[in-house]
Amino acid sequence: MALRPPTATIRTQVELPLRFADGYATDALVFSFDGLVDGREHLAFALGDRAAARPAGRRRAVPLIRPHSECLTGDVFGSQRCDCGPQLREAVERIADAGGYLLYLRQEGRGIGLYSKLEAYALQDTGVDTYEANLALGHAEDERSYVAAAQMLHALRVSRVALLSNNPDKARQLRSCGVTVVAQVRTGVHVSAANVRYLETKVRRGEHTLDLSLPA
């Protein structure tokens, strides 16, 4: 049964022109919020036609949505231990093309935090996988919550979404918070020699639907 989470409201909206390291550029409208359940500073980036004022009398397509959990090492520094940087870059362009929102969620390292994530990496170097490492550190396998993401969508008056994700848990959690997921769109897979083991673990342990083959 869907339970609508507490109401959040838009705090600020401001234009943010984006340019990535590879030269790709697009205009975003970035939103902050009041009333998010976990008190963290999550952001919504409106992209494509959602970054512009709605044309009078015209209905827009169901927006493409991606909840992206912050990964400082991958998003900012290009760490090869995960695929977060390329996932983020791909998501921004696909959402800008389709029109929609990137929800940038400040839940680093599957929700366990940056320092704990680095400790989990150190454990993984001794041979345990990413989920086992979180358990060994006293955390759940995956502590990410998408309740705040649902609150942000409700605040943006978005009730129906196409979800850009390979992770069935995101769709489940959003639906349980009253968001209608009309379609789930798979993301590309960004395999490298350094992250293939991590991605295999995601498939095995997290029910992700990924096709893993290293480029020849």
Give the active site residues. 142, 144
* Identity of the residue, 88 or 150, whose beta carbon is nearer to Zn ion in the bound complex: 88
DSSP string for residues in 41-97: --EEEEEGGGGSPPPTTPPPPPPEEEEEE--IIIIIT--TTSSHHHHHHHHHHHHHH
Q: How far is the CB of 80 from Zn ion (least distance, A)?
A: 10
* Identity of the residue, 105 or 158, whose beta carbon is nearer to Zn ion in the bound complex: 105
Q: Is 91 in the site for Zn ion (CB under 5 A)?
A: no
* Identity of the residue, 8 or 112, whose beta carbon is nearer to Zn ion in the bound complex: 112
Enumerate the β-bridge partners of residue 67: 103
Region from 49-57, 73-81, 134-142, 188-196 binding Zn ion, contact rule CB under 5 A: 73-81
Phi/psi zone of residue 131: left (φ > 0), alpha (ψ -120 to 50 degrees), beta? Answer: alpha
Q: Is 120 in the site for Zn ion (CB under 5 A)?
A: no
CB of 15 closer than 8 Å to CB of 28: yes
Q: Is 111 in the site for Zn ion (CB under 5 A)?
A: no
Q: Point out which residues bind Zn ion (CB under 5 A).
A: 71, 74, 82, 84
